[in-house]
Chains A and B, each alone.
Chain A
């Protein structure tokens, strides 16, 4: 009876935290909860197969990821004296970090796909206008204020404009995806760095905690 009571106490009572660690715990968990609320609200109808949703969602995650990293780092600081918890957190960080690095493949794929679709749209519109001009020219019933040479000039202008629109569209898409990839990669590398800090065994500069002190925390 006594034994099991102590077991429960050991197992389930919260560790004693220093004031700095308590503050870090509060701030860290707030950051993480805030991040998840943001993600849940922004991504609300989760449609993984939708291209637009995926781009937008990953962009938002990329922008807010630093907050998540900050929160996890603070939690890691709280858990620094407990080996098991620290290890679990470090493994979690490693997985999240690698996943966010690999997710850049999805971002590149999506941006290429959007670019293709946008280009197709622009080309189709240009072709439609062009065919309308051709129809007018062939039918011969031009309004008196428009001449044939003006129609030619309009056709050339449309082609040029379509090129210009394509150029700006592709620039915008590439820029957006590059910033998303950059954010996700920075976040992923940060998470991996955190996980390495958490996995390191205590080395010379920070001597291993005494058996007594580590037991004290559970009491």
Chain B
């Protein structure tokens, strides 16, 4: 069978499902909700695609999360088919879908508002189809779905961090730690606020250099690995917290390298290490170390449990 035949088969199947859905009351509501998704999807992709081409990692994380959602739902298909929404669940779900659909046309002014309306619709669809139990039985899918709805994960984490911590806490700490480390090797670096002063010049530790983005990325990677290797909950918390600590500590040598490059080696080297290539090299090294450490830990845990049995 060539691809055209497959495509036509897929389309007829899709139309068949749509027709079937349009016959019932509930199905019509869901189709109405999915219409919002249809309008939101180009915006969502339109944000992610240019950034993906620039070499940012956000799209990859979002793809991983979507795969995880698909994986979990596919694995527990039997549970999903058995779940049925009660009457009050249906009411609530349909109300949420209608609210999302009504609000969406007025939300076109920005990405965040559209994503909130879409989130409202998604929650409504889940509640109307499977009931509130869905969120209890599929916590990981729920968590990832709510994270992927808005493609700017970094912005949310930055807002939360700024809200709960004192101003420039991490930048100042990073400046102090890296200048201390540089003094250990013999450079004369003095921290002042978020600046590192050398006799030849000064470097500012900005938001992008504080290591939080990398820490979140690696924490999510730890979560993925914990899920793929089917670890216990306590082990997963351990993996994630370790990953955050490792990423923040690894940020210190990176800062040292970048600031030495800026002050002593010239702007060319600074741009190399601070820009795309430096970031790729740094994250590659960090991910490799983290991956081997996690696999070593997991195999050790398996051996232990085998010998214990």
Contacts and interface: CB of A to CB of B under 8 A. Distances in A.
Contact of A98 (B99, B113, B116): B99
Contacts of B120: 101-102
Q: What secondary structure prevails in chain B residues at the interface with A?
A: helix
Contact of B91 (A94, A109, A201): A94
A105 B117 contact: yes
Given A105-B113, A108-B113, A167-B167, A195 B92 contact: yes
Interface residues of B, number: 20
Contacts, number: 42
Interface in B58-104: 86-88, 91-92, 95-96, 99-100, 103
A102 B91 contact: no
A162 interface: no
B103 A102 contact: yes
| Secondary structure dominating the interface of A | helix
Interface in A26-67: none
A68 B150 CA distance: 33
B112 interface: yes
A109 B100 CA distance: 16
B88 A105 contact: no
A104 B117 CA distance: 11
A99 B167 CA distance: 35
Contacts of B96: 98
A60 B87 CA distance: 34
Contacts of B87: 199, 201
B92 A192 contact: yes
Contacts of B110: 109
Interface size bucket, A side? Answer: 20 to 34
Nearest to B168: A167
A176 interface: no
A98 B99 CA distance: 7
Interface in A86-143: 91, 94-95, 98-99, 101-102, 104-105, 108-109
A169 interface: no
13 contacts: A94-B95, A99-B99, A101-B120, A105-B103, A105-B107, A105-B113, A108-B113, A108-B116, A109-B109, A178-B163, A195-B91, A195-B92, A199-B88
Interface of B: 86-88, 91-92, 95-96, 99-100, 103, 107, 109-110, 112-113, 116-117, 120, 163, 167
